[in-house]
Structure 1
Amino acid sequence: MDGDKMMGKRSAKKLPILRIAIGYPINQVDGEAGGLAILEKIHAQVRGLHIAMKNIQDGIALIQIIQEALNEIHVCIQNMRELAIEAASDTLTVTDREQCELDFQKLQYQIQCISTDTHFNKKALINGDYVDGGLKIHVGANSGQNIELHINDMGVRALAIDHASVGLWEYADQAINTMDAALNKVSYERTRLETYQNWLERTGNSHQKTMAQLQDTELHLQDIGVRIREIKSRIRHTYVANKRMERIRLKLILRISQTMLVLHMQKAHTTVKALEQVMMKGPEH
């Protein structure tokens, strides 16, 4: 491993020298690193927003499940109110009133079952688990971008209908007001949840626009990157070609100089030989 690291370091040191040797300017070694970093950040944001959109859709689905449960509870309470109105009249027989009480208690039990059995991904929703500590939905691509849903308890005790009865006239008359108060609580909760849903939907729509803009920017930057690489490639080819031509010119000059030097040396050698022959013949010639 140490040998590989050493080889990697040597290669990294030789890279700028190699680029100079083949005609690349040294400032182009890491020229595209900044653009790549920007593209990676944009890509990470887009992917993060895709996941956030999934969380938002899950949050909307969760709220819709609660709204359906609250609608059923609302129907049950309305039926209980009607039974209370019926039982508040002395025109009923004892048997009729007992039947009203039995139906009233069945509806009460049904509401309690709905409050404990309404789940999303194995999480009970309206049993009071998220009254104080809300249910967090991460709705952004970055840390801390959460929407916290506080969901009220919709059980019979929380709605204050656990002790309601229509077994006697006076109880039935009181139950009418009790059911009115419970209906108001359910309606208030439905309105709150609708506000949460609208909030999530607006956030999702905003993310859609942001993702479209980021993707357009990403494509634009990629296109610019391609063009820049093409321009750099042309510049490099021109630069390398010029360097090659310069080396060829220098080689030709060197060869011409060497040839001229050889010719000069040959001429000088011939002249020296001629002088030597004259000197050997003597002055009489």
Structure 2
Amino acid sequence: MADQNRTRTQRGPVTLVLRFVVIAYVFVLVIWPVSVVVQRTFAPLNGQEGGFGAFVARLSDPAVVYAFSLTGTITFWAVLINTVFGVGVSLLLVRYRFPGRRVLSVLVDLPMSVSPVVVGLALVLAYSTGSGWFGESLASIGINVIFSTPGLIMATAFISLPFVIREVVPVLEEIGTESEQAALSLGASGWQTFWRITLPSIRSAVLYGVVLSIARALGEFGAVKIVSQGAAFNGETATLLIQNRYGNFDESTAYAAAFVLVVAAVLAIVVVNLIRKPEGST
């Protein structure tokens, strides 16, 4: 006990210094910039009024409403696609052994290491109507990918692909297959086993991955910048709106839109912690 107290006493100053460094690091990179955005959102800028009423008025701009509506549509479909395929790929990686399994596992992490700008460029090269491999064929049947909503959904789905998979895979490995095998031995079908045994077991992991995917999709900029027209009422997402308005000296609207994305990110963090809390308390 004396040795433990001596160790704690000796490590006390070092611990305080490390805590100060970490807090300062987080403050400089996260807290301070975000607080500036929040402060300027409600402050008078360039002779314009400030306050909550002005903030609501800026968000009521039809172009802003369009940008957030488009962002919501893109996020919904991208997250839905990644949730369905994410659970399927997770089951494939954990429950089956096949040639190329490790390659598939590596490819799942590719969006985490490849620049979103490169993703957008790759989609243009593959699906543009001018020189894309599949663009002309799809356009002939009335499907335009680049500079349209499908292209934005594809780009957003690509960059948010790993989140559901990387949350579900460890849970599937941990729960094993005993319950599933027992259900199958009692006459349950594959779908019944999935809906009544597997899915309830991975529900928290799926929700966690979905929340992270939503947060990532809402803030995507690089990939959608390449595959979108990026103009008002024409492919302008919330992040593109922020860039366009800030570049056109409409800083008040840019800050208002940025504040909404900050609130969405904070809500995502809160939801993630609420999901994880029961797991940590058991």
Relative to the length of structure 2, the TM-score reads: 0.25
> Which protein has the larger Cα radius of gyration, Structure 1 or Structure 2?
1
Q: TM-score, normalised by structure 1?
A: 0.25
Bigger RCO of structures 1 and 2 (CA < 8 A, at least 6 apart): 2
Q: Which has the higher strand share?
A: 1
